[in-house]
Amino acid sequence: MTEAPASLLMLNKPKGCVVTRSDEKGRKTVYALLPEWALAEGWVPAGRLDLDSKGLLLFSKGGHDVDALTRPGRLAKTYEVWVRGKVTEEHISKALKGVQTPEGLCRAQSVELLGGAGHKTRLRVTLVEGKNRHIRRLFGALKDPKFGTPLKVLELKRVSIGALALDVPSGKWRFLTPEETSRLLA
């Protein structure tokens, strides 16, 4: 029995790459990090990471897989985040309940305080739905207790989708195993 060809791959997207086939502004795209056949064979991203974000990005050859992977509420996505400002327990409570932003309500499924350095806070944030720039908008709607200014996300890295953890270096990719693919699509 011949094993089916891989239908999903993971890329560790570096900051500064655009998630698109080509960019009218001439910026580097994620396809510059993949073999030429990825574009030629129609591999497409299952979701997005903005220009300033990095981390786990999945690609699929099938539209059905993309739909399954991007359906809101289906798979938790976890991020490591550096925020300028002191994130307090009150901020975390608000983030879990939901914060109104000009683009709508943003909330996190979980927020874990990992530490900090100076006037920066390191967090692990999990979402089950992801709107455009969700984490940036969520924390930007909260005020720094010391200065009264909005908190600002300085660095955002997606480290897992469902049970799949990012395990390749920045700018590198690999195919998912049949077992990993089955767990994600089950």
List residues with catalytic annotation. 50
Residue 74 corresponds to which tokens in the numbers above? 């289906």
Alpha-carbon distance of 169 to 82, in angstroms, equals 19
CA dihedral 177, 182, 184, 186 (to 10 degrees): 180
User: Which residue from 39, 103, 158 is spatially nearest to 31, judged by alpha carbons?
Assistant: 39
Residue 84 corresponds to which tokens in the numbers above? 């300028």
